[in-house]
Structure 1
Amino acid sequence: MGITHDVGQDVEGLVAAAHRIREAIESVIEGKRDVIRLTLTVLLAEGHLLIEDVPGVGKTMLAKALARSIDCPVRRVQFTPDLLPSDITGVSAFNQQSREFEFKPGPVFANIVVGDEINRASPKTQSALLECMEEHQVTVDGTTYLLETPFMVIATQNPIEMEGTYPLPEAQRDRFTARIAMGYPEPSAELEMIDVHGAASPLDKLEAVATTAEVRALIEAVRAVYVSSPIKRYAVDLVDATRKSPDLRLGASPRATLHLIRAARAHAALAGRDYVIPDDLQELAVPVLAHRLLPSLEAQGQRRRPEHVVADLVRRVPVPENRGKEDGAGRR
């Protein structure tokens, strides 16, 4: 049974819609096309994004630009040391008139949640996001409340060496589909930024170019992108290699394998393909896997970061001869 023509049409529509969103974001963020592309990949993969870098390079601006380019509910949370878990998830309050407890939803009840400087809050408050990121639901006082689709957490954090920051718990990092670093802009982009941002914020002029319903349709199209058996095996081999590497004391989890496949589907769709190829996994391996890994003491002594280890593993793990179009069943 082959891939239907409808899937190909869905992918074509996805590419056009993603192009509109990307152009809208690029009107605010100059010279960061690869970063924007990965951000869209995570959105369409139903994942969450961690943006880590020094202050002032546009982390929050990127998150806000994506949120404004989509016509859907957006909430922003400024993480501080005194923030409580109930400030994020919501709280049950007693209504004097009805003489009953009423649930007051927190900022996680939105399609896109922007968590600014997440590692400035205590680990207890950071952990308040665990359930909603994994299960798309919130449980307060024994009652479970479902979150709408799409649901995406875009969190920014400063490097953990900076004063007043807490490292994210391993369980929290593992729930982020990918981590990216903004990096400093090129001089030409920085010059353009002075002209564009000098008088007013371009966010003020940014209008939504996609609706919530369109984003849901794009996510459905990504789910239909085909992954052959050899490509699935290749993903498992890449993740398994992190567990066996002597340079790592904590390898990637099975959740990382699922995130890698989902992100590869979105990456393929954005490239105009309705099937995944090894290149998709190779390009995504570092941003999807590296933040979940812990280097060994020897690797730390040699200043080998998890990013370097994953890049080496991508070069060493054998690539399947099948490029993703067909498998043993002859499926296209």
Structure 2
Amino acid sequence: MTEKEQQFNEAGTMIERVKQEISRFIVGQEDVIDQVLWSIFAGGHVLLEGLPGLGKTMLVRTISECLDLEFSRIQFTPDLMPSDITGTMLLQPGEDGRQQFTFHEGPLFSHIVLADEINRATPKTQSSLLEAMGERTVTVMGETKQLDQPFFVLATQNPIDMEGTYPLPEAQMDRFICKILVRYPSKQELKQIALRTTGRETISIEKAASIKDVLLLQQLVKDVLISEEMLDYAVSIISSTHPNVEESPELVRQYVQFGSGPRGLQSLIKMAKARALFAGRYHVSAGDLKQTAYPVLRHRIILNFEAEANGVLIDSIISEVVESAYKLGKGTPV
């Protein structure tokens, strides 16, 4: 067994340990947990959308504890200023008694940053996240500070309460590697939640991985192979989201205003590689691309007014896109 094969085997064992530890505290939401972990190990940021009280904040906190990552939470409100999250320069006396500027780090200087209800902050504050998310740096008063690695922003937003909110612009939405929908739990899951949270027993999360392990898994995701055929299939999926492309499905030409760009293709391949690693494979399959297309493209396809008027769901468009590209011969059987 080569060193790389041994690393892949150890990674599989570690991933299972992480998922088991998370499931000790979080009831259900297996798909959400998988997709968040794929995103983290693919090196991307996540947008979680769901109703209040579904455990989005608790999920992020649990993952940070399980991976032994420094965690900080920012509650976004309309009066939040950019310096409240990036940090600021304060004038303080030095050792010689003279006044000098000292930088005080904001909550962005953590490994996992929970941007809670991100759409409640003003566009000016939202935009202060762009540099950190894209470049992993923060610039204050002309001085650039490097953020520690790994660095992830996991943002949440409420899909129905639009009063006092500022919808995220497309440029910032595109910074997130995926958009994950947090569904309402089933009756059985609700019962388990009540049993775990209303009694005396408290569940403590044990560390199942370290920062070094997370960085290693990120490198292993990059080492997962993607064949020319699978790359063509991924390109075909992205191309089929554009209404002006001849091969695009009828639903896309009728209801889509704008499709995904190159960053969508990069995100799709990264997420597919992470899913392959989770499945214990060294290569990307058509199934990886199909399954990761939903969270990756959900926020990158802009529907037109006709789609909104007819109640067309974005996931229906994505389903048509991946199947259409598959039928065109871009993929192989799963």
Question: TM-score over 0.5 for the alignment?
Answer: yes
Matched, 1:311 2:319: yes
Q: Which of 278, 283, 294 is the matching residue for 1:275?
A: 283
> How far apart in 2 are the matches of 1:179 and 1:119?
14
| Structure 1 partner of 2:124 | 124
The equivalent of 1:328 in structure 2 is none
Structure 2 runs not aligned, ≥5 long: 244-251
Give the Å deviation of 1:320.
3.1
Cα offset, 1:24, TM superposition: 1.6
Partner of residue 242, structure 2: 243
Identify the residue that residue 69 of structure 1 maps to in structure 2: 66
Match of 1:96 in 2: 93
Q: Residue deviations 1:29-86, cap 9 Å, x none?
A: 1111111111110010001111101111111111111111111211111111111111
What's the counterpart of residue 28 of structure 2?
A: 31
CA-atom RMSD in angstroms? 1.8
Matches within 5 A, 1:129-278: 129-199=129-199, 202=202, 205-244=204-243, 245-246=252-253, 247-278=255-286
Mapped contact 2:45–2:153 kept (Cα < 8 A): yes
Give distance in 2, aligned partners of 1:68 and 1:29.
13
Distance 1:319 1:50 in 2: 32
CA drift at 1:276: 0.5
Aligned to 1:330: none
Q: Is the 8 A contact 1:90 1:107 kept in 2?
A: yes
Distance 2:81 2:300 in 1: 25
Compute the displacement of 1:7 (Å): 3.1
Cα 1:321–1:116 shift into 2, 3 Å: closer
Give TM-score scaled by structure 2 length.
Answer: 0.91
Separation in structure 2 between the aligned mates of residue 274 and residue 73 of structure 1, nearest angstrom:
30
Cα distance, 1:205 vs. partner?
A: 1.2
Shift of 1:322: 5.4
Partner of 1:329: none
> Displacement, 1:19?
1.1
For residue 105 of structure 2, what is the aligned residue in structure 1?
105
Inter-CA distance 201–262: structure 2 relative to 1 (3 Å threshold):
farther
Asked if the contact 2:286–2:331 (Cα under 8 Å) also holds between the matched residues in 1, the reply is: no
Q: Who is 2:249 aligned against?
A: none
Rounded to whole Å, the distance in 2 between the matches of 1:164 and 1:200 is: 38
Of 315, 320, 325 in structure 1, the residue corresponding to residue 330 of structure 2 is 320
Q: Structure 1 regions of 5+ residues with no counterpart?
A: 325-332
* TM-superposed deviation, 1:303: 1.1
- Measure, in 2, the Cα distance between the counterparts of 1:297 and 1:156: 25
Matched, 1:302 2:305: no
Deviation at 1:18, TM superposition (A): 1.2
1:57 paired residue among 22, 35, 54? 54
Instruction: State percent identity of aligned pairs.
Output: 39
Aligned residues: 320
Larger mean CA deviation between 245-254 and 188-197 belongs to 245-254
The Cα offsets for residues 154-173 of structure 1, whole Å up to 9 and x where unpaired, read as: 11110154322221111111
Alpha-carbon separation, structure 1, partners of 2:34 and 2:42 = 12
Contact 1:278 1:319 in 2 (8 A): no
Q: Kindly provide the amino acid, as one letter, of the partner of residue 115 in structure 2.
A: G
TM-score by length of 1: 0.92
Identify the residue that residue 75 of structure 2 maps to in structure 1: 78
